[in-house]
Structure 1
Amino acid sequence: MAYTIDRYPCEESPRLGAMTLHPEPESVSRARRWFRKFIAPYNPACSVDDCVLMISELVTNAIRYGEAEGPWLVRVEWFREGTSLRVEVHNPGFPASVRLRHPDADDAHGRGLLLVDATADSWHSGPSHFGGTVVSFVVADAWPT
């Protein structure tokens, strides 16, 4: 796994960190672990556990629904925007395939975006500037003013 982190964010670079992950199940736990480690120095006031849950769901979806003809990676980036935290998960899938589902009680899948929708202040999906799809969430007031 490769990762990068910006330890000294400034106005021109609000990115706090990023990681790239192979599209395999083990990457979900890696994403949780590395996000916890790299967000800790910034001392967010929001629930890191909630963020980790949402990252788990989005990375799982990226791995499950991402597709490309050749080898590909999932990319996770997190940004400070004023007092908010924005986390993006990129994969090479098609943006049109991202939708909020309402599964039946006996459905085994389909609750990831429902969890994100219920936990985040907002979320968005669309074309990624890396190509493919990005799904992001925002936690408002992640840092005191």
Structure 2
Amino acid sequence: MAYTTDRYPCADSPRLGAMTLHPVAESVPRARRWFRKFITPHSPACSVDDCVLMLSELVTNAVVHGRSDEPWVVQVEWFREGSSLRVEVHNPGLPGNVRLRCPDANDAHGRGLLLVDSLAHSWHTRPSRFGGTVVSFEMADAWPS
């Protein structure tokens, strides 16, 4: 798996879907339902269940760790980039705060990015064009080339 902080979307990557979520716990299951509903018609060859799990982890992290003095939202977008699927989660947190953790066996939290790192072809973090941070993952070979 790969992790970088300097990845920017290609201008010619078609956006397949997007959603705006309030930074509350109820947004996590809502994100799972909407993503599954809107990605399924595109018939990706990658595991939609794996994508839903990773999206769930990233939205949870955005809700828990996003911070702003102003009212804010979590922005989610997904794109087809060649044969890959890229899913982005934007929040007002700081990019430097995104990191893999190595939790102890008894820790109840801290495994979200480990799951993303193990399931995705790659994952990235950078400043978001909305302000704050975007964390994304890519699934290679989601569609035939």
Q: TM-score, normalised by structure 1?
A: 0.91
Q: Once the two structures are superposed, what CA deviation does each residue of 1:76-130 show, in whole Å capped at 9, x if it has no partner?
A: 0000001000000000000000000000001111000000000000001111111
Query: Given that residues 68 and 92 in structure 2 are in contact (C-alpha distance below 8 angstroms), is that contact kept between their aligned partners in structure 1?
Result: yes
Q: How many pairs align? A: 135
CA-CA distance at 1:40 after TM superposition: 1.2
- 1: CA distance between counterparts of 2:30 and 2:117? 23
Measured after TM superposition, the shift of residue 18 of structure 1 is 0.4
Could you tell me how far apart the structure 2 residues matched to 1:143 and 1:82 are? 8
| 1:11-50 alignment runs, 5 A limit | 12=12, 14-50=14-50
Q: Which residue of 2 aligns with 1:140?
A: 140
Q: 1:85 is matched with which residue?
A: 85
Moved more, 62-71 or 11-20: 11-20
- Structure 1 residue 13: Cα displacement: 5.3
Which residue does 2:76 correspond to in 1?
76
Please report how far the alpha carbon of residue 12 of structure 1 lies from its aligned counterpart in structure 2 after TM superposition: 4.1
Sequence identity (%): 76
Per the alignment, residue 55 of structure 1 pairs with 55
Which deviates the most, 87-96 or 11-20? 11-20
What runs of 5+ residues in structure 2 fail to find an aligned partner?
1-10
The SS at the match of 1:85 is strand
Instruction: Determine the C-alpha separation between the residues in 2 that align with 1:42 and 1:127.
Output: 28
Runs of 4+ in 1 over 6 A off after TM superposition: none
RMSD of aligned C-alpha atoms? 1.0
